[in-house]
Amino acid sequence: MELYNCSLEELWQRLEQGEVSSLEVTRSVFGRIAAVDDTIAAYLETDEKGALAQAEAADECRRKGEKTTPVTGIPLGLKDLLSTKGLKTTCASRMLADYRPEYDATVVARLREAGAVITGKLNMDEFAMGSSTENSAIKATRNPWDLKRVPGGSSGGSVAAVAAATAIATLGSDTGGSIRQPASFCGVVGMKPTYGRVSRYGLVAFASSLDQIGPVTLTVADAALLLGVIAGHDKRDSTSVDLPVADYYGALKKDIKGLKIGVPKEYFGAGLDPEVEAAVRLGCSQLAASGAQLDDVSLPHTDYAVATYYLLATAEASSNLARYDGVKYGFRADDADGLLDMYRKTRAQGFGDEVKRRIMLGTYALSSGYYDAYYRKAQQVRTLITRDFDKVFADCDVLVSPVCPTPAFAFGEKVDDPLSMYLSDILTIPVNLAGLPAISVPCGFTKAGLPIGLQIIAKPFAEETLLRVAWHYEQLAGWSGHRPTLAGEAV
Amino acid sequence: MDYEIVIGLEVHCQLLTETKIFCGCSTHFGNPPNQNSCPVCTGMPGALPVLNRKVVDFAVRAGLATACEIIPNSVFARKNYFYPDLPKGYQISQFELPICVDGYLDIEVEEATKRIGITRIHMEEDAGKLVHPEHEHGVSYVDYNRACVPLIEIVSEPDMRSSAEAVAYLKALRDIVVYLGVCDGNMEEGSFRCDANISLRRWGAPELGTRAELKNMNSFRNVQRAIEYEVERQRDILDGGGLVVQETRLWNVDRGISMSMRGKEEAHDYRYFPDPDLLPVVVDEAWVESVRQSLPELPALKRQRIVADYAIPIADVEVLTADRAMADYFEAVVKLFAQPKAVANWIMVELMKFLNEDKTSITQCPITPQGLAELLSLIDEGAISGKIGKQVFSQMYSAADNDPRQMVEAQGLAQMSDAGELATLVDEIVAANDDKVKEYQQGKVKLFGFFVGQVMKQTKGQANPQMVNQLLKEKIG
């Protein structure tokens, strides 16, 4: 098997045993990028020179017998909203097309510290606003399983790169499903940790109370390994929580007998594709057969989640994106006359349509006279949605559901209908509102050959249980690790 | 017509912390532009604020000193507006849940005490500074050294009824924050700044009139002038049957007038909402208690106590307590030399003269309280004269090794108080000036000074003046 096709776990073991070098793995991945990224378009920028230097350093580190981590020498890609010192961080926006941060995000610093090889920066919906990566101002990323379809979003590049083997694993960010939904569309594992588990310092903010960085990987074990490196308290992020980080990888194989799994009925409602439903129901029964106990549960406020999310996320975004004003960094309109005109033109020309739509929605929700009816009300409903989860988690250890009501859709299918695009996140959004950890695990394919994802949701900071159930499911179902056949490849 | 004047003040105090409110950058004033900056205080994408605990401490100090209730779970909010000196496009402030509420401050106006309500005190970050160079047309620069420097805003109730009351309140408040060590109180440099809300209403009217907000008054004098100008402006409008417009006005110091800056229609909608990057500020009872224990004696109480304890005039006490360190110095000296009035005089006349000439503060004073007390004891014991005392004081001020007793000894400055020695000297001088003695005895009493002067001259000023007077009186009548 080509090195680029291996899982992180396998490469880690082979690197530790000295069977391969990081330089070989890194060259293999860059060879793969050269071969297929023109087609997939996952990368916005690659850093081959930097990556090879990091690979050499990792090999040197192993040769000397210095302390290593599971990611030492592993080529990893980063969603282009994670600040990388000296390496462009564009958020796939015209606004930041030439912006090079002067500092590393905490997760990036942790990866570097751990000896990882950074391959480059990955495409996304502009400022993480979207569900298809079609809102990238720079390029459209294709779904490796069907090039006419979207990879999902907003972490479309992060997910397509793992699916197309142009990175061993990547980091994405999930505000309303932006890791899990594309992972389900591209047949890989995508995880959103508990809000506060991973530092947001250096993650360019979309909606601060919802954003969370997480791993995108080929297998659950890979996700456990990568999360172990990036998780943990950071004094630079006041919302990061000071709790010990468990040995997620070491705990994967512990038994799940007697574990209680809730199946929320609201997540199997109207609009759910029958093939998706069948695959997820099968997954549930496989888990039951392995000794877990299934229970039907209800999350009664689920219907309000999308509306709540689009008030809160846009309100926060309208404020978070105010800093892009042409004064300090990034794009500045050059035809402006005076300060006000500079603001107007810079923001009119620098932002894409979806970003502007959300800034306007959020500005409206916070405006004097509307705040109580929209923002405050949405916060109250958010509390109700969180309580729904608290109640079912009094009895259940995890919940299982589909990730997205449908498999990947075609380019252009939803761009003119924002509301239908928003609804593709209907099953992932409540998890962000409640701040819970959740994962998308491959759970089969439609007749047309499109991947389907199964979502597992756990209690706050119960990543260990979440990953353990996901790992057991993965072993039972065997859908992880499948690779699409790309044009030009031998079948 | 006669109107009641209604004034409320909003005071911003720059806090004396070493680092900024949400990052570790220095707050040091006067560094080259943008030297005190980092990704957090320049609003780089992805950077996050982390609250400086000292700022909370200072806000609680100010709250306790003004009898406020301390809110155990206050919340930071974002105030959204665009301006180039505001790097994030919002200011982190507090809105619905400030850290302190419902306090008051007692002020003295025309010999009466009046209580002014304090609505709230909240914490916030300062903005940067725009620089418009004269020689570069159409270009402006931004200096973010001041961005993210901590402020507290103290908002009063509309309880003041005259410009004098407003100034008395402002002075009392400034005294307090300076005493607390939370702010340097410098109005000219803008570390203590004030906005005034002013309205007029007919006597007895239950509701408040339409108010104007005044900004840009950088001294007590200007606050007074600006308020008086505004009161007259509104009175003229109302007397003429017009309506006061709700607006923000800027005081123009040079012209002595205020001008409209923006009207109600142009007022910002700041779209406040809780900042999701910061957790609620939890201040528990133990924290409040520890701050309470560390509070210094406040200026008003200190004055009352000093007047009562030391029986010195209120005018002296006001001078001595204008600065907390000065008051401490005074009390330290009195503890060692228990003649408060004499100590007060020496501090106000001699010490302050030297400090003013040096433009330095009492904390930098080279003469320790022990030193001054020792000097005053030497004078009191009669070991040296007051005049020599002043000379020694001057030397003490500029010398490194400045024990007055050693100085007096080493330089032979001790007063001549030996009655026999002085009597011999007086005899000699009287004998040598026979003619002047006659003139004196014939009624030219002024000549008495001549004899004293002669004695002093011969003793290089060290003769005990009381004894010289007495001996001369005995000798020449």
Task: Give the tens place of pLDDT for each residue, A145-175.
Answer: 999 999 999 999 999 999 999 999 999 999 9
Note whether B338 and B270 are same-domain residues.
no
Predicted pLDDT of residue B32: 96
Residues contacting A369, CB < 8 A, separation 6+: none
Smallest CA–CA separation between B137 and chain A, in Å? 13
Please give the backbone phi and psi of residue B108, each rounded to the nearest 5 degrees, phi first: -105, 120
Looking at residue B206, the DSSP 8-state letter turns out to be S
Mean of per-residue pLDDT scores for chain A: 96
Q: Do A235 and B50 touch (CB under 8 A)?
A: yes
In the sheet where A438-445 sits, what is the strand order?
A43-46, A117-122, A75-79, A169-174, A212-217, A189-192, A438-445, A451-458, A398-402, A260-264, A293-297
Q: Give yes or no for a contact between A70 and A22, defined as CB atoms under 8 angstroms apart.
A: no
**CB-CB: which of B42, B48, B84 is closest to A201?**
B48
**Which of B410, B430, B454 corresponds to the end of one domain?**
B410
**Region of residue B110 (phi > 0: left; psi between -120 and 50: alpha; otherwise: beta):** left
Note whether B201 and B102 are same-domain residues.
yes
Q: How far apart are the first and last CA of chain B?
A: 73
Per-residue pLDDT tens digits for B36-78? 999 999 999 999 999 999 999 999 999 999 999 999 999 999 9
Looking at residue B291, the DSSP 8-state letter turns out to be H
Q: Do A208 and B276 touch (CB under 8 A)?
A: yes
Partner B, chain A 104-123, Cβ-Cβ below 8 Å: 105
Q: Do B46 and A371 touch (CB under 8 A)?
A: no
DSSP codes, B25-49: -B--TTPSTTSS--TTTTT-TT---
B88 touches chain A (CB under 8 A): yes
Note whether B7 and B124 are same-domain residues.
yes
Calpha distance A306→A314 (Å, rounded): 12
Q: Do A209 and B279 touch (CB under 8 A)?
A: no
Calpha distance B442→B450 (Å, rounded): 15
Smallest CA–CA separation between B57 and chain A, in Å? 18
Mean local confidence (pLDDT), A451-456 = 98
A371 touches chain B (CB under 8 A): yes
Residues contacting A102, CB < 8 A, separation 6+: A85, B39, B44
Can you tell me which residue has the tokens 């040769």?
A63
Which residues form the domain of B330? 297-410
| Residue of B22, B50, B271 for testing the chain A interface, max A β-carbons within 10 Å | B271
Measured between beta carbons, the chain B residues lying within 8 angstroms of A201 are 46-48
Note whether B271 and B332 are same-domain residues.
no
Q: Give yes or no for a contact between A182 and A170, defined as CB atoms under 8 angstroms apart.
A: no
Measured between beta carbons, the chain B residues lying within 8 angstroms of A315 are 273
What is the torsion angle, in degrees rounded to the nearest 10, for the CA atoms of residue B325, residue B327, residue B330 and residue B332? -70
Q: Residue-wise over B121-152: b if at least 16 C-beta within 10 A, else e?
A: bbbbbbbbeeeeeeeeeeeeebbbbbbbbbbb
Measured between beta carbons, the chain B residues lying within 8 angstroms of A363 are 271
Calpha distance B361→A112 (Å, rounded): 52
B82 touches chain A (CB under 8 A): yes
Measured between beta carbons, the chain A residues lying within 8 angstroms of B84 are 325, 327, 339
**CB-CB: which of A102, A322, A328 is closest to B90?**
A322
Residue at B195: amino acid letter: D
**CB-CB: which of B42, B90, B269 is closest to A367?**
B269
Note whether B362 and B469 are same-domain residues.
no
Give A491's pLDDT tier (boundaries 50, 70, 90). very low
B130 touches chain A (CB under 8 A): no
Give A487's pLDDT tier (boundaries 50, 70, 90). low
Domain ranges of chain A: 3-258+438-477
B89 touches chain A (CB under 8 A): yes
Q: Do B46 and A237 touch (CB under 8 A)?
A: no
Q: Topology of A3-258+438-477 in CATH?
A: Amidase signature (AS) enzymes (3.90.1300)
Sign, CA torsion A270/A271/A275/A280: negative
Measured between beta carbons, the chain B residues lying within 8 angstroms of A207 are 276
Calpha distance B323→B325 (Å, rounded): 5
Give A180's pLDDT tier (boundaries 50, 70, 90). very high
- Residue B442, domain CATH: 1.10.10.410
Note whether B50 and B118 are same-domain residues.
yes
**CB-CB: which of B43, B142, B277 is closest to A323?**
B43
Per-residue pLDDT tens digits for A79-90? 999 999 999 999
Q: Do A316 and B276 touch (CB under 8 A)?
A: yes
* Count of domains for chain B: 3
Smallest CA–CA separation between A83 and chain B, in Å? 7
Per-residue pLDDT tens digits for A30-43? 999 999 999 999 99
Partner A, chain B 30-49, Cβ-Cβ below 8 Å: 39, 42-49
Burial environment of residue A233 by CB neighbours within 10 A (0 to 12, 13 to 18, 19 or more): middle
**CB-CB: which of A319, A328, A366 is closest to B87?**
A328
Smallest CA–CA separation between A366 and chain B, in Å? 5
Smallest CA–CA separation between A295 and chain B, in Å? 35
* Active-site residue set of A: 79, 154, 178
Measured between beta carbons, the chain A residues lying within 8 angstroms of B47 are 103, 201-202
Measured between beta carbons, the chain B residues lying within 8 angstroms of A101 are 39, 44-46
**CB-CB: which of A236, A322, A329 is closest to B88?**
A322
**CB-CB: which of B50, B271, B278 is closest to A363?**
B271
| Residue of B137, B141, B269, B277 for testing the chain A interface, max A β-carbons within 10 Å | B277
Vertex A294 angle, CA A292 and A300, to 5°: 140
Measured between beta carbons, the chain A residues lying within 8 angstroms of B273 are 315-316, 319, 366, 371, 375
Predicted pLDDT of residue B432: 87
DSSP codes, B235-250: HHHHHTT--PPPEEEE
Q: Do B42 and A328 touch (CB under 8 A)?
A: yes
Q: Do B273 and A328 touch (CB under 8 A)?
A: no
Per-residue pLDDT tens digits for A371-410? 999 999 999 999 999 999 999 999 999 999 999 999 999 9
Note whether B386 and B405 are same-domain residues.
yes
Q: Do A325 and B51 touch (CB under 8 A)?
A: no
**CB-CB: which of B46, B50, B272 is closest to A105?**
B46
Closest alpha carbon within chain B to A363: B271
Residue at B379: amino acid letter: I
Q: Do B51 and A89 touch (CB under 8 A)?
A: no
ipTM (interface pTM): 0.96
Give A489's pLDDT tier (boundaries 50, 70, 90). low
Smallest CA–CA separation between A209 and chain B, in Å? 5
Q: Do A83 and B46 touch (CB under 8 A)?
A: yes
State which residues of chain B have pLDDT below 70: none
**CB-CB: which of A105, A319, A339 is closest to B80?**
A319
Smallest CA–CA separation between A178 and chain B, in Å? 18
Predicted pLDDT of residue A162: 98
Q: Do B269 and A202 touch (CB under 8 A)?
A: no
B24 touches chain A (CB under 8 A): no
Q: Do A201 and B277 touch (CB under 8 A)?
A: no
B412 touches chain A (CB under 8 A): no
Note whether B405 and B465 are same-domain residues.
no
A227 touches chain B (CB under 8 A): no
**CB-CB: which of A204, A327, A368 is closest to B46?**
A204
Predicted pLDDT of residue A488: 54
B225 touches chain A (CB under 8 A): no
Measured between beta carbons, the chain A residues lying within 8 angstroms of B90 are 319, 322
